[in-house]
Structure 1
Amino acid sequence: MRMILKIVFAASLLAAPMLPLAASETKDTGDGEIRIGNIMPYSGPLTEFAPIGKTESAYFDMINDRGGINGRKVRFISRDDGSNPRKALEQTRQLIEDDHVLLISGSFGTPGNLAVRPYLNENRIPQLFVASGDQEWNKPAEFPWTMGWQPPFRAEGRIYANYVQAFHPDHKLAVLWQNDQFGRDLLIGLQEGLGDWTRMIVADSTFDISDKSIDRQIDVLKASGAGVLLFAGSPNLAALAIRRLAEIDWHPVVILNNVAAPAVRALRPAEVQNAVGVISTSFLKNATDPAWKDDEGIKQFSTFMDRYYPGGGKADSNVLFGYAAAQTLSQVLEQCGDDFSRENIMRQAASLKDFQSSVTLPGITISTGPNDFLPIKQMRLVQFDGNIWQLIGDVIDSAFLGPTNH
């Protein structure tokens, strides 16, 4: 039934009229303002990611106070899709046809961005720095106007496979994953990385993003005898998983996907001990880690937060995500010089060379090319010590993490 609904929904999107915009609307309006469109889940089940859009908006407020970009002010228009792909398409069309934005940037989520991609590519409108780690955003030959930003979920899965092989080769592995493209991608990456070692996976179970409890799934996975548990989902459900592990006295090695890592902040003080030792990945600095207290980039970030987003959380990784993504877009727009045509914006987005945001970890750079629409390719493994996430190991380049056979 789920597959039938997906097919019907996809067909309805394809049936929607997507008439090309007038030629005059595909160029810079020349009115001295750079209009950027953005879609975020300000309502619905994924509101915990809304700070990404709020931070990006605040960042361009700061840019405007400093004179704008190449003499032009930036107008960042962010709309709510409630994590609904159909609404994402409606809101995107309004941004283009009513608000006359020049490009779409930083919109959140896989389903919504997939829904709007045909419309934006048909009309030659940049869909930049998608806030999703799906492989679909790195297909420049098929979708030359769509580009991702963060490391792919599948690459993250391969990183966890390498970790398990290196440190827990004798353990059985269980996987609890979100039943959508996001969770599936991470599981596929894990299987690719394990290669012939896929037999380590003795059980897996799924959950829906709207679920209020995952106790049943956790209980089933415990019965498998697994000594390692990989969770692939959102932070709120990851917190439920950690609590359930303690309730049933199951203490596997826990791996949380990068998106779920903020779950440890949602735990009550008495529960934090349950998360000690949890493994994850990161490509951003931790603003509350004493190791970065004298870091110039974090100092600038802290000053920005105090003035432009005082209601945001400096410890929120989604805020750092939005800050770094906005910095990346600013770099692209600066490279445009006086040519703010959509064609040149896309050309500059595909011409980033070792750009480094002030809040990405050392050694993690942002590079693109005409055939490379994957800006960030490196990550670091991290481990929670009860207070902060400690970096472990070296920078891992996902470009060199292919399937392994043993």
Structure 2
Amino acid sequence: MSGYSTRARTWLGLAALMGAMLAAGHALAEAKYGPGTSATEIKVGQTIAHSGPASAYGRLGQAEAAYFKWLNETKGGVNGRKITFISRDDAYQTPKAVENVRALVENDEVAVVFGNLGTPINMAVRPYLNAKKVPLLFIAAGSSAFNDPKNYPYVMGWQPSLHDEAAFYAKYILRTKPDARIGVLYQHDDFGKDLLSGLKDGLGDKAGKMIVSAQSFQASDPTIDSQMVILKNANVDVLFLFAYAKQCAQALIKRSDLDWKPMTFLHLGSASIGSTFKPAGLDRSAGVLTAGFRKDPDDPQWKNDPVVQWYFTWMKENMPGADATDSMYSSGISYAMALEHVLKMAGDNLTRENIMKQASNIKDYQNPFLLPEGRINTTPDNHAVITYMKLQKFNGKGWEFVD
């Protein structure tokens, strides 16, 4: 700069300084934060059954907590921000869940509520969260009501809808056993009723004749033995278990005790070798059918799959006291990976509005725990997350796909 005067050099120096300051200001302005987010942190809340009749599903939350902890320690969180995960116990009681969610939003000021368990619980909290414009993402509930972006744009499920799942089974029955005498054991709430409705819709005008008995139970009931006896006495030869893991295991045990062998379908959320079939007995569980959409780590067909091999190593290092063969843990990790994907998409715009926008615009995301054919695509008009299903039968050791 020897050719410039002292005044010119001073001016150029000031201009450079001002340019640097403007650039820095512009860079800072690009980052946008809302409640629960900052340059160092993203707060994520959850209410789930860590105790009570659905406590087996609390393992979802345990796995998610472990995954976020690992993500913070090994990768610095997401885009340089640590995940603070607050998972509260609701014991599968709707009033407690509502109380938990209000505390998460109003006291903890979370950015997102994530992975809540149960159709009735999520139905109860979604009006509040939607009104507050807090994303309710990837919930462990399959009601078709959770894909209603016109009325609830801040709500998004995860698994295939309960209605579509049951209609999927109905289509198979109509094709392979059109003279079936169908019996249904269902949980007496929005969860069980949605499955039953989907089955009836799938059977169409044949539903009234084919469904010869439908027996309900409360989630808090100690057993479902009497309902199973009624179903057997109705000469049911195709049985649907629209229940969670505990009651499904009880039903499979009672079915064996009654020396009763109907074709049996199980709600996909309960189709866990570790949580349902092992407690019931693998021999008693052989032949059970369900809609598959994910890899069960305890299934021999996936033993050489890269993500399953990674999973067992990861579990040994990060959850050493847990039974890694229980697919509740791998399911929890897959949920957490999906949220990680959305938060990465959100970049430095971590307002609740933008997080929801990103969740509503997922393109061809292949979650590693889903079946190889499965892809996640969402739009602002369609919040269905997992739509690919494949019928599968448990052979006493693992799953075999059914044509």
Q: Identify if the C-alpha distance between structure 1 residues 97 and 175 changes in structure 2 by more than 3 Å, giving closer, same or farther.
A: same
> How far apart are 1:255 and its partner, in Å?
1.2
> How far apart are 1:222 and its partner, in Å?
1.4
Counterpart in the other structure of 2:52: 44
For 1:63, what is the secondary structure of its paired residue? helix
> How far apart are 1:314 and its partner, in Å?
2.0
* Aligned: 1:364 with 2:374: yes
**Contact 2:130–2:154, Cα closer than 8 Å, also in 1:** yes
* Structure 2 residues not aligned, in runs of 5+: 1-31
Amino acid aligned to 1:339:
N
Counterpart in the other structure of 1:267: 280
Q: Identify if the C-alpha distance between structure 1 residues 27 and 214 changes in structure 2 by more than 3 Å, giving closer, same or farther.
A: closer
Q: Aligned match of 1:283 in 271, 293, 298?
A: 293
Amino acid aligned to 2:239:
L
Q: Deviations over 1:104-129 (max 9, x none)?
A: 11111122222221221111111111
> How far apart are 1:297 and its partner, in Å?
1.4
Q: Aligned match of 2:79 in 46, 70, 74?
A: 70
C-alpha separation between the residues in 2 aligned to 1:260 and 1:291?
19
Amino acid aligned to 1:349:
A
Q: Aligned match of 1:84 in 71, 88, 93?
A: 93
> How far apart are 1:29 and its partner, in Å?
4.3
For 2:297, what is the secondary structure of its paired residue? coil
**Contact 1:26–1:124, Cα closer than 8 Å, also in 2:** no
C-alpha separation between the residues in 2 aligned to 1:172 and 1:100?
52
Amino acid aligned to 1:33:
E
C-alpha separation between the residues in 2 aligned to 1:247 and 1:40?
33
Amino acid aligned to 1:321:
S
* Structure 1 residues not aligned, in runs of 5+: 1-23, 394-406
> How far apart are 1:135 and its partner, in Å?
1.4
Counterpart in the other structure of 1:8: none
> How far apart are 1:353 and its partner, in Å?
0.8
Counterpart in the other structure of 1:59: 67
Q: Deviations over 1:78-119 (max 9, x none)?
A: 111111111112111211222221111111112222222122
> How far apart are 1:317 and its partner, in Å?
2.1
**Contact 1:158–1:189, Cα closer than 8 Å, also in 2:** yes
Counterpart in the other structure of 2:358: 348
Q: Identify if the C-alpha distance between structure 1 residues 25 and 94 changes in structure 2 by more than 3 Å, giving closer, same or farther.
A: farther
Counterpart in the other structure of 1:18: none
Q: When the two structures are aligned, how many residues end up with a matched partner?
A: 367
* Aligned: 1:296 with 2:309: no
**Contact 1:27–1:341, Cα closer than 8 Å, also in 2:** yes
* Aligned: 1:380 with 2:387: no
For 1:44, what is the secondary structure of its paired residue? coil
Q: Deviations over 1:311-338 (max 9, x none)?
A: 2222222212111111110000000111
For 1:39, what is the secondary structure of its paired residue? strand
For 1:50, what is the secondary structure of its paired residue? helix
Amino acid aligned to 1:57:
A
> How far apart are 1:51 and its partner, in Å?
0.5
> How far apart are 1:364 and its partner, in Å?
1.1
Amino acid aligned to 1:116:
V
> How far apart are 1:203 and its partner, in Å?
1.5
> How far apart are 1:251 and its partner, in Å?
1.4
* Aligned: 1:30 with 2:43: no
The residue correspondences of 1:133-148 to structure 2 (distance < 5 A) are 133-148=142-157
C-alpha separation between the residues in 1 aligned to 2:361 and 2:370?
19
Amino acid aligned to 2:250:
L
Counterpart in the other structure of 2:8: none
For 1:104, what is the secondary structure of its paired residue? strand
* Aligned: 1:205 with 2:215: yes
**Larger Cα-atom Rg:** 2
**RMSD of aligned residue pairs (Cα, Å):** 1.6
For 1:363, what is the secondary structure of its paired residue? coil
* Aligned: 1:306 with 2:316: yes
Amino acid aligned to 1:306:
K
Q: Deviations over 1:330-349 (max 9, x none)?
A: 00000011111111101100
| Greater CA drift, 332-341 or 223-232 | 223-232
C-alpha separation between the residues in 1 aligned to 2:398 and 2:37?
47
Counterpart in the other structure of 1:10: none
Counterpart in the other structure of 1:13: none
Amino acid aligned to 1:50:
G
Amino acid aligned to 1:58:
A
For 1:378, what is the secondary structure of its paired residue? coil
Percentage of pairs with the same residue: 39
> How far apart are 1:289 and its partner, in Å?
2.2
Counterpart in the other structure of 1:21: none
**Contact 1:305–1:314, Cα closer than 8 Å, also in 2:** yes
Q: Aligned match of 1:113 in 119, 122, 147?
A: 122
